[in-house]
Structure 1
Amino acid sequence: MDKEMVMQWAKMLMSYKFALDEVSTKLTILNEELQFIQHYNPIEHVKTRIKSPESIVEKLQRKGLEVSRENAAEHIRDIAGVRVICSFTTDVYRVYDMIRSQGDVKVLEVKDYIRSPKPNGYQSLHLIIEIPVFLSDRIEHVKVEIQLRTIAMDFWASLEHKIYYQFHEAMPTSIREQLKETADMIGALDKRMLGLKEEVQRYSESTFPKASAMTLSPPAPVPNLK
């Protein structure tokens, strides 16, 4: 890869970095606003990452596509990634509703692996959004992948990822089954903690009706945008 091509790829990835900055800022503002108004923040923490040029090239080659910046922008939707960790499943859908309500955010795709987990037990809500990045001489519409999950889901996914890369495709059946069982336990734990939170809220509302600030509403249905 010559110097000019390196500069072109760096320029492209810079736009993705700016898109991540915008998404992170939006999430911070929404979280702090809810903390100020309702004394409750649904987001525990946010992680961001950008794929390396080597990873992008490898993915294009796996897809059988010519290695180019144009193909990368068109066919790889997770060059820029944001992982949003929430306390409860209701917070996941609440944050999703807040993201899709932003006027400059276009939701391109939604995959709900919380209501419909993957066969291995993986749970998360995946979004592909498009967000405008205002540069000095143009506006670029950049795709960003957002993964929303609870603390428990993130714990499981992180360990499963490490175990998977120990075995790759040759993971023993017994370990695969134990991971699936653990994922089911994680799902049950999330439900139990949510039930506990709702019980605490009901107690607070009956005992201190004016002091209770947290409000829960059923999560809105997630449209199938595949």
Structure 2
Amino acid sequence: MILDRQNRVNTNELRARLSAIADELEQRDGTSPIETADVDAVSEFIDQMQVYEGAMYEISTKLEILDSEFQVHFSHDPIHHMERRLKSIDSIIDKMHRKHLPITVRSVRDNLFDVAGIRVICNYRDDVYSVANYLSAQSDIQVLRVKDYILNPKQNGYRSLHVIYAVPVFLSSGAHYTPVEVQFRTIAMDYWASLEHALRYKTDLPDARLSEHSQTLLDCARALQNVETQMQSIHRDINGAPQGTQAPSTDDRTRPLG
């Protein structure tokens, strides 16, 4: 099952809408704050978002095929479900501001690698590493960055495997290698992370209560890790699926992005 978290925008429709607004303002006030260059810049940004969306679909299709192959060979589906999302315009601008970077399409391409994102929820930790490594081994995939928060959890207890892949999106102008951030985690890691995220943005709780809940969540993370280890051991005894214990390595191959 794949859940999509973004709204599609049609470039021609947006261009026509902006041009109509500019014409209306010019007729009414004699001037328009919307210049042709602004319309072109917005259109370029939407075009780039389409490329990110294409890269996201390329990766998710590869993951679906891997999941089906596991089912055929091992009678086991390693992927419980996936969630796809594109960063909103507001989120992109906020992140560029935090990094003190110019708000341009070129700057976004060169500096943001998580505009397109997929969360892959697996059944077991073996599945996380196996699926990530099989995907990384594909010849048209480049591994740009790996952060293994399963082997090295964050201080608050967060566990997940983050991999940034570059995948080719084939347009009329040729292949455009585009980054996609993929977060691999188990079901237990995911529901823990969802609750921790909700707590982090729960601003109306007293500090003492927030601190108490944070400590409880840290204890829960450790307990869940122990439970997962035991269940993983049972799963290995009754299922012949590949065992994964190590994250992918970054790729020595260099392909220009964009």
Query: After superposition, where does 1:59-70 map in structure 2 within 5 Å?
Result: 59-70=95-106
Q: Does the C-alpha gap of structure 1 residues 162 and 221 become closer, same or farther in structure 2, counting only changes over 3 Å?
A: closer
CA-to-partner distance for each residue in 1:119-153, whole Å, 9 max, x for gaps? 00000000011111000122211000000000000
Tell me the distance in 2 between the aligned counterparts of 1:215 and 1:156: 25
Which range moved further: 159-168 or 144-153? Answer: 159-168
CA contact (8 A) 1:34 1:40 kept: yes
Deviation for aligned residue 1:28: 0.7
CA-to-partner distance for each residue in 1:15-47, whole Å, 9 max, x for gaps? 000001100110111111121222212111111
Q: Does the C-alpha gap of structure 1 residues 75 and 118 become closer, same or farther in structure 2, counting only changes over 3 Å?
A: same
Aligned to 2:217: 179
Tell me the distance in 1 between the aligned counterparts of 2:244 and 2:57: 30
Aligned to 2:7: none
RMSD: 2.0
Q: Does the C-alpha gap of structure 1 residues 11 and 188 become closer, same or farther in structure 2, counting only changes over 3 Å?
A: same
Tell me the distance in 2 between the aligned counterparts of 1:132 and 1:120: 36
- Amino acid of the structure 2 residue aligned with 1:215: A
Aligned to 1:55: 91
CA contact (8 A) 1:86 1:150 kept: yes
SS for the counterpart of 1:117 is: coil
How many residues matched?
213
Using structure 1 for the length normalisation, give the TM-score: 0.88
CA contact (8 A) 1:112 1:222 kept: no
- Amino acid of the structure 1 residue aligned with 2:158: Y
Deviation for aligned residue 1:76: 0.9
Aligned to 2:112: 76
Confirm whether residue 189 of structure 1 aligns to residue 227 of structure 2.
yes
Deviation for aligned residue 1:191: 0.8
4+ runs of 1 displaced by more than 4 Å? none
Tell me the distance in 1 between the aligned counterparts of 2:91 and 2:189: 25
Deviation for aligned residue 1:193: 1.2
Query: What is the identity percentage for the equivalent residue pairs of Structure 1 and Structure 2?
Result: 37
CA-to-partner distance for each residue in 1:68-90, whole Å, 9 max, x for gaps? 11111111110000111111001
Aligned to 2:52: 16
Tell me the distance in 1 between the aligned counterparts of 2:132 and 2:53: 21
Using structure 2 for the length normalisation, give the TM-score: 0.77
